[in-house]
Amino acid sequence: MKKNLLTILILAFQVVQVIILGFILLSVMSTNSKTVAFVNDIAAAYELEQAGGLGGGVDPASVNTNVALGDRATYNVNNGETMTFTLNAGSDGRTHYAQVTLELVMDATNPDYATYSGMIAANDNTIQDIVQNVFVKYNIDNVMDSQELIKQEILQQLWSMFDNTTFIFLLNMRVTPA
């Protein structure tokens, strides 16, 4: 009789334990789902900020690059002079440089051209800093193969600088590694 009573008591404790475990799982799962939703919201906000703010940045595929030759205006960064930037150390471990000449090509028919084209000369140093910050990510081994990526990154930062407008639609860049 004592063994049956002990068995019933153990069974009752196990049933209570299963009920408590179920309650804990339900409470943890609801908290977990709220945490996942919160982390996803933070990640979405971070991606939005990385893309250029509330406008979501500029999609390079949506930029009009079919601008007639007569509707183009150009600006030579650093008055057309060659800029020299230090690159990351290459596979040989030595310090290398990139000599860069950069020309901004603008769409004179773009409505934002009238607003922002006058600001370009005043922001020449800022544009040079943007170019330098992009070039320091590369080394002598990959700078020549990555010119299109470099142009896209510079364009993205210029679009962001000028309030996500795409009146600057093309970069002409000549790079000479040294």
Superfamily per CATH, domain 60-177: Band 7 domain (3.30.479.30)
Confidence of residue 48 (pLDDT cuts 50, 70, 90): low
At position 119, the amino acid (one-letter code) is: M
Confidence of residue 50 (pLDDT cuts 50, 70, 90): low
Confidence of residue 28 (pLDDT cuts 50, 70, 90): confident
Cα–Cα dist 90/92, whole Å? 5
b/e per residue, 3-18, with b = 16+ CB within 10 A? Answer: eeeeeeeeeeeeeeee
Percent of the chain whose predicted confidence (pLDDT) is above 90 = 12
Residue with tokens 């471990």: 93
What is the predicted pLDDT for the residue at 55? 46
| Mean pLDDT of all residues in 51-70 | 63
Backbone angles phi, psi at 171, to 5 degrees: -120, 130
Give the model confidence (pLDDT) of 96-153 as tens digits.
Answer: 888 999 999 988 888 888 888 888 888 889 999 999 888 888 888 788 888 888 988 9
> Which of 91, 81, 77 shows the shortest CA–CA distance to 134?
77
Sign of CA dihedral 175, 75, 154, 111: negative
Helix crossing, 124-135 with 147-161: angle to 10°?
140
Percent of the chain whose predicted confidence (pLDDT) is above 70 = 89
Of the ranges 67-71, 120-124, 162-166, which is most confident?
120-124
Confidence of residue 54 (pLDDT cuts 50, 70, 90): very low
Compute and round to an integer the Cα radius of gyration of the chain: 30
Confidence of residue 64 (pLDDT cuts 50, 70, 90): low
Residue with tokens 């979501």: 56
Q: Is residue 60 within 8 Å of residue 153, measured between CB atoms?
A: no
What is the predicted pLDDT for the residue at 163? 80
**Per-domain residue ranges of the chain:** 1-50, 60-177
Q: What is the DSSP letter of 167?
A: S
